[in-house]
Amino acid sequence: MHQVRTVITGTGSYIPPTIKTNRDFINQPFYGEDHERITTPAGEIVDKFKDITGIEERRYADKDMNTSDMAIIAARLAIEDSKIDPETLDQIIVAHNFGNVLQNTIQTDALPALSSRVKQALGIHNPECVAYDILFGCPGWIQGVIQSDAYIKAGIAKKCLVIGAETLSRVIDIYDRDSMIFSDGAGATVIEALPGDKNQSGILATSVQSHCVNEAFYLHFGTSNLPDSDPDVRFMKMKGRKVYEYAIKNVPLAMKSCLDKAGLKITDVKKFFLHQANEKMDEGFVKALYKLYGLKEVPEHIMPMSIHKFGNSSVATIPTLYDMVKHNQLGEHELEDGDVIMFASVGAGMNINAICYRV
C-alpha cells in the first residue's frame, strides 16, 4: 500500500483595504456589562488596549463586500498558486462563524452555505466536489485542514480547498471595549494528497480538544452594553479574562500533545503560526510550551505576527498569516523546504486545535 501525505500546495488571502486605527476609537463612548458608562478617558482605554493586545490597526470589509466574496477572492488566489484545475477538487470547506452579515442588518445569511457560493463562483460543475461549511470558532480553518487530512488518509479525497473567512466588524458591539479587537479577512489553502512519507512535506500530526462544560459560553451572542438598547439585537460578546485563563492553561498542553504525537522535540519547530487574538497571550502560549519541556528561553523570530496591523479576523488569521510568510511578505520570517512549523488556535466553543507540518 502506497503511503500518502497531506500537503498544502497553494495559498491565497484577501485583506480588506479599509484601515481602522486605534485613534479612530478616541471619540467612541464605551460601557461595561453593567451598562454603566466607562469614565476612563478614551485615550487611556486605547493605549492600554494596545499594550495588552498589540493591535494598532485592523481591517474592515467595504460595505459591498461580504464574507463569501472575500472567500472567493482568496480561493482563486490559492488555486492559482497551486496550479490545479478547480474541477479536480473533491471538497470545498469554508470555516466561518456568522455567514454573510449584510451591512446595517441584524440577520446573518448562510443559505445557501458559503461553500456553495464559493463553488458556484469558481464555476465548478463536478457534482462530486462536495461543498460544506464548518462552525468551530476561531480554530475553524485549522479544523478544516484536519478534516481534509482525515479524508485524504481515508482515501475519500485527493484535493481539498479549505477557506477561513469572516466579517467580525459587522457583529461587534461598538459600545464594548472588546470590539476594538476584531477585524475582517479571508485566507485559503489547497490541500493535496501526494505520494511519500513523513520525512517529506506534509502534515505530521494533529491535536483537537473541546471544552464545553464551564467554558461553552465564554464567547456568545448578547445584548449591547449601551443602556436601553434593543434587547432583540444581539452582538458577539466575550468573557475576556475567562478566555485568557482557559487558553493559557490548555493551549500549550494541546500543542505539546501534537508534538508528542509527531515524535518531535520543541527545538525541531522553526515557526509557530498561532491564531492572532492577543499578542501577549500568544507569547504566553509559546513560553508555557517551552516550560513544559524544561526550557526557559524562547528563540527570537519564532512566531510571525500580523495582529499589529490586521487585528483578529477569527478563522482568517492563520491562513492569511501563513500566506504572507510563504510569499515572503513578512520581513524576517522565511520558510525553507523541510522546516517544521506548528499551526495552533483557540476559540468559541471552547475549542483548541494544532497541526505539526513539514514545509
Residues 206 and 95 in one domain: no
Residue 96, C-alpha cell as written in the block: 466561518
pLDDT given for residue 334 in this prediction = 87
pLDDT given for residue 140 in this prediction = 97
- Number of Cα atoms under 13 Å in the Cβ half of residue 223: 10
Residue 304, C-alpha cell as written in the block: 510571525
- What's the total number of domains in the chain? 2
Last residue of a domain, one of 140, 169, 195: 195
pLDDT band per the 50, 70, 90 thresholds, residue 317? very high
pLDDT band per the 50, 70, 90 thresholds, residue 43? confident
Residues 42 and 164 in one domain: yes
Mean pLDDT of all residues in 204-222: 95
Last residue of a domain, one of 156, 180, 195: 195
Last residue of a domain, one of 179, 195, 211: 195
Q: Nearest CA to 161 among 198, 131, 203?
A: 131
Strand partners, 191: 8, 160
Q: Domain containing 90 — which CATH number?
A: 3.40.47.10
Residues 126 and 171 in one domain: yes
**What one-character-per-residue DSSP string does 284-297 give?**
HHHHHHHHHTT--P
pLDDT tens track for 122-158: 999 999 999 999 999 999 999 999 999 999 999 999 9
Residues 242 and 175 in one domain: no
Residues 340 and 222 in one domain: yes
Question: Would you say the pTM of this structure is higher than 0.85?
Answer: yes
Residues 282 and 212 in one domain: yes
Residues 169 and 43 in one domain: yes
Which comes out higher in pLDDT, residue 116 or 197?
Answer: 116
pLDDT given for residue 79 in this prediction = 98
pLDDT given for residue 107 in this prediction = 80
What's the mean pLDDT when you consider all of the chain? 94
**Domain span at residue 311?**
202-358
pLDDT given for residue 102 in this prediction = 84
Residues 84 and 178 in one domain: yes
Residues 185 and 224 in one domain: no
Mean pLDDT of all residues in 299-313: 94
Q: Which residues of 77-93 are buried (b: 16+ CB within 10 A; e: fewer)?
A: bbbebbebebeebbbbb
Residues 344 and 227 in one domain: yes
Task: Give yes or no for a contact between 209 and 254, defined as CB atoms under 8 angstroms apart.
Answer: yes
Specify burial of residue 187 (Cβ count, 10 A radius: 0-12, 13-18, 19+).
buried
How far apart are the C-alpha atoms of 145 and 164, rounded to whole Å?
10
Residues 149 and 290 in one domain: no
